[in-house]
Structure 1
Amino acid sequence: MFSELVVCYLFLGGAGAGACLVLSVMGILVPRSRFSKGPARSIFVSWEYRKLFGFGFAFALVALVAGGLFLFADLGRADMVLQLFTSPRAVHITIGAYALIFCILGATLQALIWAQMIRRSSVFILRLLCVLTALISLVVIAYTGLLLQSLRSVPLWHNIWLPALFILSSLSCGMGLVMGASLLAGLGSVFGSVLRQIAFFDGLVIALEALSVVTFLLTTLVSASKTAVLSGKELVLGSNSGLFWAGFVLLGLVVPLALDYQLCSRQPIRASLGMTSAACVLAGGFVMRYCLVQAGVHPGI
């Protein structure tokens, strides 16, 4: 039903959209004084902001485009890809495909403006674009979880807590991408306070994600559906249980939560801690989706 290509799409689409959301909110919060006026309705920003948003959106775009390619590769045929955009019914996958395309467009425009490759703009237009990109990113983030929940043929996924888990994971992965991109760009000392705030919110999201996982598992294991219960047991005790506990719970939740605490409490920010936290969050996000898909498709233990 769901191949590894779709798992990659669910992960990359969520992480890329999460990064777009984080960067768009950051763009809205950039003080007006940081922009300088140029001739012919042009705006200019300092090199620090060009690198911050340039690297950030570059990483987000790579994730979004790669996710779209994985989705199209899974469909296999050009007519199936075309059907995504021409379907007369507003099904989840059609809405998601359009949202993904518009998210890529919004991120591309923002990247070009922040990198000063498009100068004929204004602060108002840029902030409006940030708002629109943030809203579209939210649709992409929510869609990945809602897509699985809508498939009633898989009882494990038909759980109200699944979209919440995917949303929180995508937000955390998005913050991990932004953190990693900023540190790779050498901006740890320039935007240390911003990155500490990202680490703080990432820790908060990870704590909520852990709570969502616990609630998801509890509601699954007491479900009236025997197949859902079997799938839940497969998730925590089955063939991929080691990957779930070590790759997602430990590596994707416990370790980055501890590292985020260290990042928030120490000055200056340590690039090694930030990069490790980002890598763990992203690895955990992929493992979580892989294990959930495998347990739903193969419920036996």
Structure 2
Amino acid sequence: MFSELVVCYLFLGGTGAGACLVLSVMGILVPRDRFSKSPVRSIFVSWEYRKLFGFGFAFALVALVAGVLFLFVDLGRADRVLLLFTSPKVVHITIGAYALIFSILGATLQALMWTQMIQGGSVFVLRLLCVLTALFSLVAIVYTGLLLQSLRSVPLWHNIWLPALFILSSLSCGMGLVMGSSLLAGLGSVFGSVLRRVAFFDGLVIALEGLSAVVFLATTFSSASETVVLSGRELVLGSNLGLFWAGFVLLGLVVPLDLDYQLYSRQPIRPSLGVTSAACVLAGGFMMRYCLVQAGVHFGI
């Protein structure tokens, strides 16, 4: 029922939506004087902003589109894909699919406007598009957290802290993707102060993610259900214990938290640290989802 395709879908969908949310908020916060003041109010920004948002949304769109494709492949048949969008019954997966599609649409339009491939748009329209994309992305992020929790057939996932863990991980992965894309585009010296703020908030989210993981495990092992406790043991001591402790805890939480602190506290920003932190966050986010899915289905379904 839950193959690696679903794990990839949850990871890529959450990461892409997280990056879209971060970029949209950054777009809203771009100072008004950074835009041109032409009589027709058309948008013109410097090459730095075109590169920042062009690269960022390109990476986000790759993640989002790949996530949706993994979902469609996992569904297996064209009629199931069609039913996903036409079914009158409102379920988590339908809401999430629509949120991802609208996030893709918003990210595409933003990328075209920021890179000036769409001419004649106004700053107001761009700001409005940023707000709408942020809202759709937030729905997609929340959805990836609620999807597993809604499945009653897997006791391990029926935990209120699971959505919090997924939501925080998606936000952190999104910030990691934005950090990595910006530094790979060579914008570390231009947007150093902005990227240091991203590192600060990423570190804060990672700390909250680690706290959520601790509380999730505490509630799991204090559960009255033997199946939940056995699933928890499978998660931390089972066949994937190496992926959980070395992959998620060490690589996905401890290492990037330290690197984010260094990125925030040191000037100028070091691209190698930022790219490494982004890679660790993304790898840890994938391994967390993989371990949770595998531990859940081991004693569930």
> TM-score with structure 2 length normalisation?
0.98
Inter-partner Cα distance in structure 2 for 1:249 and 1:162: 16
Superposition RMSD in Å: 0.9
Inter-partner Cα distance in structure 2 for 1:266 and 1:40: 42
- SS of the residue 2:190 aligns to: coil
- SS of the residue 2:156 aligns to: coil
Q: Which residue of 2 aligns with 1:269?
A: 269
Inter-partner Cα distance in structure 2 for 1:120 and 1:228: 57
**Amino acid corresponding to residue 46 of structure 1 in structure 2:** S
Q: Which residue of 1 aligns with 2:291?
A: 291
1:97 aligns with 2:97: yes
Equivalent residues in 2 for 1:238-277, closer than 5 Å? 238-277=238-277
- SS of the residue 2:154 aligns to: coil
Equivalent residues in 2 for 1:89-168, closer than 5 Å? 89-168=89-168
How many residue pairs match? The answer is 300
- What is the deviation of 1:38? 3.5
Q: Give the fraction of aligned pairs with identical amino acids, expressed as a percent.
A: 87
Inter-partner Cα distance in structure 1 for 2:243 and 2:252: 11
Q: Are the equivalent residues in 1 in contact too, given 2:41–2:123 (CA < 8 A)?
A: no
- What is the deviation of 1:278? 0.1
Inter-partner Cα distance in structure 1 for 2:209 and 2:126: 32
Inter-partner Cα distance in structure 2 for 1:55 and 1:253: 25
Inter-partner Cα distance in structure 2 for 1:85 and 1:285: 28
List runs of 5+ in structure 1 lacking aligned partners. Answer: none
1:5 aligns with 2:5: yes
Inter-partner Cα distance in structure 1 for 2:37 and 2:121: 10
Inter-partner Cα distance in structure 1 for 2:92 and 2:184: 36
Inter-partner Cα distance in structure 1 for 2:84 and 2:132: 23
1:52 aligns with 2:60: no
- What is the deviation of 1:120? 1.5
Q: Give deviations 1:201-236, integer Å, cap 9, x for gaps.
A: 000000000000000000011112111111001001
- SS of the residue 1:147 aligns to: helix
Inter-partner Cα distance in structure 2 for 1:27 and 1:205: 20
Inter-partner Cα distance in structure 2 for 1:244 and 1:20: 27
- SS of the residue 2:188 aligns to: coil
1:77 aligns with 2:77: yes
Inter-partner Cα distance in structure 2 for 1:41 and 1:22: 25
Inter-partner Cα distance in structure 2 for 1:224 and 1:89: 33
1:21 aligns with 2:28: no
- What is the deviation of 1:130? 0.5
